[in-house]
Structure 1
């Protein structure tokens, strides 16, 4: 699990940097200020949760947990990046408003992922 989530985290971080640079240099003149802010929110949350995936990988090694709540928490962070950030990227580039309905599902994945990660850490303490 550690290698997989470490790789996912690093790849998501790489993509966040590339997309952030793309927004700053390639989209600034093409999107409204609001839509550029939407895109940048996706980049910011992608980076936060990329680092979260790396943390899950480290926790897995340190706590000796290879499954259960920690694994599920990592999966939810990974899925949340696609749903939350991905929907914001497509929304800002396409203007398709109904895609905004997908974003909260990604947010729920983030919340549940962090809750399971906290639970796994708490359980390991005992």
Structure 2
């Protein structure tokens, strides 16, 4: 249940921060920083949907809910999204450029989440 809740929370944050970036930060930051923010928001939104879908699959109680790889994938998506998107949000909003050093760690974590999701899919296919 926690994966679904965190996915929904990340979705909410992506919309709220998107509005803040568009209406509050756009004029205050460089065009390059605004592009960084839009990339972070896009990643946050896409992965919030994926996280929520994984959360729903885990709550469904079917064969997918018994796959530890699916849960690990959801957790990795959460960690990766927070590291990737929030490092950019905070870096640009608070003018702390060094925070973007965390961003690649988030990106790698998201890639790992996709790979673990592939494993979950292969395992689910074998169980069907």
Q: Under a length normalisation based on structure 1, what TM-score does the superposition of the two structures give?
A: 0.90
Alignment size in residue pairs: 124
Q: Which position in structure 1 is the counterpart of 2:76?
A: 76
Q: 8 Å contact 2:37–2:89 — kept in the other structure?
A: yes
Q: Which position in structure 1 is the counterpart of 2:101?
A: 101
Question: Of the candidates 51, 56, 59, which is equivalent to residue 57 of structure 2?
Answer: 59
The 5-angstrom pairing of residues 2-81 of structure 1 reads: 3-60=1-58, 61=60, 62-66=62-66, 68-81=68-81
Q: In structure 1, how many angstroms separate the alpha carbons of the residues matched to 2:38 and 2:124?
A: 36
Q: 4+ residue stretches of structure 1 with deviation over 3 A?
A: none
Q: In structure 1, how many angstroms separate the alpha carbons of the residues matched to 2:119 and 2:67?
A: 13
Structure 1: stretches of 5+ with no match in the other structure:
none
- Secondary structure at 1:95's aligned position in 2? coil
Moved more, 3-12 or 23-32: 3-12
CA-based RMSD of the aligned residues comes to 1.5
Residue 47 of structure 1 and its aligned partner are, at CA, apart by 0.6
Residue 23 of structure 1 and its aligned partner are, at CA, apart by 0.7
Q: Under a length normalisation based on structure 2, what TM-score does the superposition of the two structures give?
A: 0.88
Structure 2: stretches of 5+ with no match in the other structure:
none
